Amino acid sequence: MSLLKSIIRFFFMKLEGLFDRIFTPAWNPMYCLGALGYFYFWVVAGTGLYLFIFFDTGLTEAYDSIEYMTNDQWYLAGVMRSLHRYASDALVIMVLLHLLREFAFDRYRGGRWFSWVTGVPMIWMIFAAGITGYWLVWDTMAQYVAIATTEWLDWLPIFGEPVARNFMSVSHLDDRFFTLMIFIHIAVPLILLFIMWFHLQRVNYAKVNPERGLAIGTMAMLLVLSFVEPAVSHGPANLATVPGTLNLDWFYLWVYPLIEETSPAAIWGFAFFGTIFLIVIPWLPPRRKMAVAQVNLDNCNGCTRCVVDCPFSAVSMQRRTDGAPFTQEAVVDPDMCVSCGICVGSCPTATPFRRRGELVPGIEMPELTLARMREITEQAASDLHGNSRIIAFGCSHAIDPDTLKQDNLGSVVMPCTAMLPPSFIDFVLSRDLADGVLITGCRDGECHYRLGARWMDERLAGARDPRLRKRVDRDRICKVWAAPSDHKLLQHEVVAFADKLEKLGQGDVVKQVKVQSGSGDVKEPV
């Protein structure tokens, strides 16, 4: 399984790197596959509403009304029909890529099982909506799909009479059938929409809309395709004959040739066991869960920053229980916490400057406490010499800075770079532990914990609490978001950063803080 993941991950990273250059990280479609899926869904829904105005539910009227839209009103209804089809097809591609990517990058386990599992019925709903859509056209392909579907359903021992008998001849079918089909074709996407809402319940700041530039680009692509190659029907359905050669939509209808090649039972087995496999895969095999974030009420003032920054809605505010003079306290839901540590980076009490008493912030990770982080940082700095000493703070899902084999570089690795409170950078530079600080982590837009890179960027830019103090010399900070495949890029950036630090010279370090050593008091700089 891990080999398979590595192979898929390799291709994704190569493609993402290429798209970063072509689209820029903000518009990179690989970073918003889910959002693009939502976008295509809304295109399908919007165009479907328009098509519904002209669609006629009748044995011959269904086909005739679609022919009218395609030929007589080609400039609007015809384009809408094409958009409806092509956006549906693009939706299948997005869902497949989204699923593969989350699988390859191991983003479906632990606290993320909920989004994965709720995604499984969405696959069924998308196919049900697409297939019923093809029935409505009532051309020879619809006839083929209708008969093949009912023959497949008839394998289930739940029908008193074979359902496929409804398509024996025209006399067995009436207009009500199309009323039923349009009802199903509308009801299924509504159920899908409900599950789509459910799918994101444990995702904070879910990205449901692609960036405007990407949305415009993809919409323009669909429009051009709709004008150049408009969707058309086969000939009208005729139950006295059997459809021979068909231009199948392989995104939705691949299953029917497969049924013919194997058997209905085999495909039911595939569908059933495939669904079960997808549902249980987040627990296959069970993995050791890192200890979840822990709230220390003695240092929690209920500021809500951890709640705001948690990417998975695992922290909530509840009424104070310890009698402290604050109205609320942070509470961690262990089932939803993925142990990323981003909450630690957001906590205003997480400052390494504190010397009096034990260094315990309001919220922290038991397996990598803040005190331990300070210890590792000081230890890493102790071996560095010269004018280009670098302390690198990295995340365990991107490149381990230790592998850079760079002289004069000490590293501190965390579950996510955003676990690092910005005050640590200040601490390193003001205490002269190093000449520069390197911040590295997952590539912008594809952070393993979704929001780590974004929050870190905003904290360093002073746009998000806790902010990096203005007094910190920005020339001595280097930030490189790099995927594991960007090893050379990071190496190159580190060398350039070391050269820059060398030129800046140690004497340029502005030391504005004078902490009385041994007093234990935190002397916040002016």
- Minimum distance of another protein from residue 144's CB (angstroms): 6
- 169 near another protein (CB under 8 A): yes
Q: Which of 10, 227, 250, 273 binds another protein (CB under 8 A)?
A: 250
Return the number of the residue (24 or 304) whose C-beta is nearest another protein.
Answer: 24
Binding of another protein by 243 (CB under 8 A): yes
- Residue 369 and residue 361: Cα distance in Å, rounded? 9
SS3 508: helix
Which helix (H) or strand (E) segment holds residue 294: the answer is: strand 294-295
Question: 3-class DSSP state for residue 419?
Answer: helix
Stretch 93-132 residues interacting with another protein (CB under 8 A) = 93
Size of residue set near another protein by CB under 8 A: 47
Q: Does 89 bind another protein (CB under 8 A)?
A: yes
Candidates 246, 290, 297, 509; binder of another protein (CB under 8 A) is 246
Supply the DSSP string of 201-226, one letter for each residue.
TT-TT---S--HHHHHHHHHHHHHHH
Report d(CA 255, CA 266) in Å as an integer.
11
Rounded-to-10 torsion of CA 123, 246, 226, 71: -130
| Binds another protein (CB under 8 A): choice among 12, 23, 353, 424 | 23
Please classify residue 384 by burial: count the beta carbons closer than 10 Å to its beta carbon, then call 0-12 exposed, 13-18 middle and 19+ buried: middle
Segment interacting with another protein, rule: CB under 8 A, options 222-230, 290-298, 357-365, 377-385: 222-230
Q: Cβ 83 to another protein, closest distance in Å?
A: 11
**Does 70 contact another protein by CB under 8 A?**
no
Q: Establish if 244 lies at the interface with another protein (CB under 8 A).
A: yes
| 309 contact partners, CB below 8 Å, separation of at least 6 | 342, 343, 345, 346, 418, 451, 455
Nearer to another protein, 163 or 416 (CB): 163
Asked whether position 261 contacts another protein by CB under 8 A, the answer is no
- Say whether residue 21 binds another protein (CB under 8 A): yes
Element spanning 141, H or E: helix 140-153
Give min distance, CB of 499 to another protein, in A.
Answer: 25
Candidates 218-226, 336-344, 430-438, 439-447 — which segment interacts with another protein by CB under 8 A? 218-226
Residues 6+ apart with CB under 8 A from 60: 236
Q: Does 304 bind another protein (CB under 8 A)?
A: no
Interface residue with another protein among 26, 100, 239, 376 (CB under 8 A) is 239
DSSP for 148-201, please give it: HHHHHHTTSTT-SS-GGGGGSSGGG--THHHHHHHHHHHHHHHHHHHHHHHHTT
Cβ distance 314 to 333 under 8 Å?
yes
Binding positions for another protein, rule: CB under 8 A: 19, 21-24, 27, 29, 85-86, 89-90, 93, 144, 151, 154, 157, 160-162, 164-165, 168-169, 217-218, 220-222, 224-225, 229, 231, 239-251, 257, 260
